[in-house]
Amino acid sequence: KQEVTQIPAALSVPEGENLVLNCSFTDSAIYNLQWFRQDPGKGLTSLLLIQSSQREQTSGRLNASLDKSSGRSTLYIAASQPGDSATYLCAVRPGNAGNNRKLIWGLGTSLAVNP
Amino acid sequence: GAGVSQSPSNKVTEKGKDVELRCDPISGHTALYWYRQSLGQGLEFLIYFQGNSAPDKSGLPSDRFSAERTGGSVSTLTIQRTQQEDSAVYLCASSRPGVDVAFFGQGTRLTVV
């Protein structure tokens, strides 16, 4: 059974720091992995999607890497800003899900970037 | 609309009552998902609709839960005889055919008292 773990559960940093959020999964047979951002009352926003054949994806100050064999992904945020404060969720799509694109989720990392 | 719309945004109900949660997906999105997010737990898959195919109901926690999607658009999640453990945020998401990136609604926070 696929399980997704995110470390740390919470993180507080001063503005401007570079930071790394970690995600691990128990079954390396994944189709893809996504990082989401969750803001209170605003639902979830997809940040980056990495296919199983890819090693990393970048969007602006965000870079996500994937090491499928070791069951790990990291989300790197450069030059953090107070507006980055949110909960960051990692989710994997199992490789055996067929046409169902259901996701298995971690509990998230709650990030606070202090001015 | 521009995004996935869910209603109501908040719902407080008495134990034993039935509730209906509504999701209006983005126009043209054939895939629709319902997830549940309970306090201290990760998002839990409930049900998946894809076009005219039979829905994947494998995530529904009990027979008190059901969902339908009329005309391939609006979906309703119904919880009968609500229990306190049903209290959670219910999230709906939709995506275009063949695309994994899903757009989420803001969720419905259900509180059973």
Which chain B residue shows the shortest CA-CA distance from A93?
B100
pLDDT at A58: 97
Q: Which residue of B has its CA nearest to A5?
A: B42
The dihedral region occupied by B40, where left means phi > 0, alpha psi between -120 and 50, and beta the remainder, is: left
Does residue B2 register a pLDDT over 90? Answer: no
pLDDT category, A102, cuts 50, 70, 90? confident
List residues bridging with A6 in a β-sheet.
A23
Between chains, do A101 and B45 touch, taking CB under 8 Å as contact?
no
Q: How confident is the model at residue A85 (pLDDT cuts 50, 70, 90)?
A: very high
Chain A positions in Cβ-Cβ contact with residue B50 (cut-off 8 Å): 99-100
pLDDT surpasses 90 at A66:
yes
pLDDT at B66: 97
* Alpha-carbon distances, residue A68 vs A12, A31, A48, A65, A101 (angstroms): 28, 10, 16, 10, 18
B48 to A34: CB separation less than 8 angstroms, yes or no: no
Q: Which residues of A touch B103 (CB under 8 A)?
A: 46
In this complex, do B42 and A100 lie within 8 Å of one another by their Cβ atoms?
A: no
Q: Which residues contact A38 (CB under 8 A, 6 or more apart)?
A: A44, A45, A86, A87, A88, A89, A108
A18 CB-contact burial (10 Å; exposed 0-12 / middle 13-18 / buried 19+): exposed
Is pLDDT at B1 greater than 60 in this prediction?
no
Whether A45 and chain B come into contact, CB under 8 Å, resolves to yes
> How does the average pLDDT of chain A come out, rounded?
93
CB contact under 8 A, A107 and B53: no
Which pLDDT value is given to residue A77?
Answer: 97
pLDDT number for residue A99:
58
State the pLDDT at residue A82: 96
pLDDT computed for residue A20 by the predictor:
96
Interchain contact, B50 vs A45, CB within 8 Å: no
Give the list of residues 6+ apart from residue B1 with CB closer than 8 angstroms, or none.
B24, B26, B27
Check residue A37 and give its pLDDT.
96
Characterize the bridge pairing of strands A104-105 and A86-94: antiparallel
Q: How far is A91 from chain B (nearest CA, A)?
A: 9
Distance from C-alpha of A1 to C-alpha of A102, rounded to nearest angstrom: 14
Using an 8 Å CB-CB cutoff, list chain B residues near A99.
Answer: 50, 53
CB pairs under 8 A between A and B: 54
pLDDT of residue A43: 82
Q: What is the pLDDT of residues A18-52, one digit of tens each?
A: 999 999 999 999 999 999 999 987 789 999 999 99
Q: Which residue has the tokens 């995600």?
A: A23
User: What's the pLDDT at B99?
Assistant: 81
Closest in A93, A101, A105 to B42, CB measured: A105
Q: B82-107 pLDDT, tens per residue?
A: 999 999 999 999 998 878 888 999 99
Question: What pLDDT score was predicted for residue A98?
Answer: 65
B101 vs A46, A104, A108: nearest CB: A46
> What does the alpha-carbon distance between residue B113 and residue B108 come to, in Å, rounded to a whole number?
16
Report pLDDT digits (tens) over B13-46: 999 999 999 999 999 899 999 999 998 888 999 9
Answer whether A43 sits within 8 Å of B59, measured CB to CB: no
- The answer, yes or no, to whether residue B71 has pLDDT greater than 70, is yes
